[in-house]
Amino acid sequence: MSIFATRVVNATYSDISHFSERCIEDFSSHGNLASSATLVVGIASGGIPLAKEVHRQLHADGDAADYMEVRCCRPSTKSKEEGAPSKLFSLVFRLPYFLLNILRLVEHGLLASRSNSGRTIETQGELPTKAYKWVLIVDDAVDSGYSMSCVVDFLRENLAANPNLLTASYVVTRNSPVYRPDFTLFNNVLVRFPWAKDAKK
């Protein structure tokens, strides 16, 4: 078995809703998450739509949980943002899916071979001072696991009252990440989410 993803699957908004339902159902064994004692944390940028859906469903099930966003930055994030011009990207994204899938798999392999050091955490606004019982951290994909691990460590060190931290990711793309989330739907694949730049509208 390959240690890296070998295929790409497409996710729909219905799939995102299903992920949120399964995530909440799985974590309900720990206690009542649909309360104001819960904080949902979305990891930017891919984890935000999934975290918002989890937060929306928790709100529908009971008292409103709180919500915040964090960003885990690494050197490759900036280099990708400062990379090829938008016109080149627009041409690449017009390619058929089978070619885009190959490009995704190649990029995945190249990123896996690079160093994973140098991450920093940025919060969108001030950290809450409220004492939460549960903190649910949501991301779209766990690759190396370093980003999720850094966010967990950051929140454990900076949130009040030592809350219970639960982690969820739609997919884990490698066999042995340094941090594996408590809940995930898929393993060893890459997922093209509806908001991805190479998703066909």
Q: Does any domain span residue 17?
A: yes
- Which residue would you say has higher pLDDT here, 105 or 139? 139
Q: What is the DSSP letter of 189?
A: -
Assess whether pLDDT exceeds 60 at residue 116: yes
In the chain, the percentage of residues whose pLDDT exceeds 90 is 60
Band (pLDDT 50/70/90 cuts) for residue 75 is: low
Please give the model's pTM, rounded to 2 decimal places. Answer: 0.87
Q: How many domains does the chain have?
A: 1
Residue 89 belongs to domain with CATH number? 3.40.50.2020
22-26, 51-55, 105-109, 170-174: segment of lowest average pLDDT: 105-109
Name every residue whose Cβ is closer than 8 Å to that of residue 125 and which is 6 or more positions away in sequence.
Answer: 68
Q: Does any domain span residue 52?
A: yes
Q: Does any domain span residue 73?
A: yes
Assess whether pLDDT exceeds 80 at residue 30: yes
Q: Does any domain span residue 200?
A: no
Average pLDDT, the chain: 87
Query: CA 16 to CA 79: how far, in whole Å?
Result: 29
C-alpha triplet 12, 125, 14: angle, nearest 5°: 10
Q: Does any domain span residue 22?
A: yes
Q: Does any domain span residue 199?
A: no
Helix/strand/coil for 153: helix
Residue 152 tokens read as 């967990």
Residue 179 tokens read as 């941090």
Domain that holds residue 53: 8-192
Assess whether pLDDT exceeds 80 at residue 79: no
CB-CB neighbours of 143 under 10 Å: 21
Assess whether pLDDT exceeds 80 at residue 44: yes
Q: Does any domain span residue 36?
A: yes
Q: Does any domain span residue 3?
A: no
- Give the pLDDT confidence score for residue 2 in this predicted structure: 54
- Average pLDDT value for residue range 40-69: 92
Q: Is residue 8 within 8 Å of 105, Cβ to Cβ? A: yes
**Burial (0-12, 13-18, 19+ Cβ within 10 Å), 201:** exposed
Query: CA 69 to CA 79: how far, in whole Å?
Result: 22
Assess whether pLDDT exceeds 90 at residue 63: no
Assess whether pLDDT exceeds 50 at residue 1: no
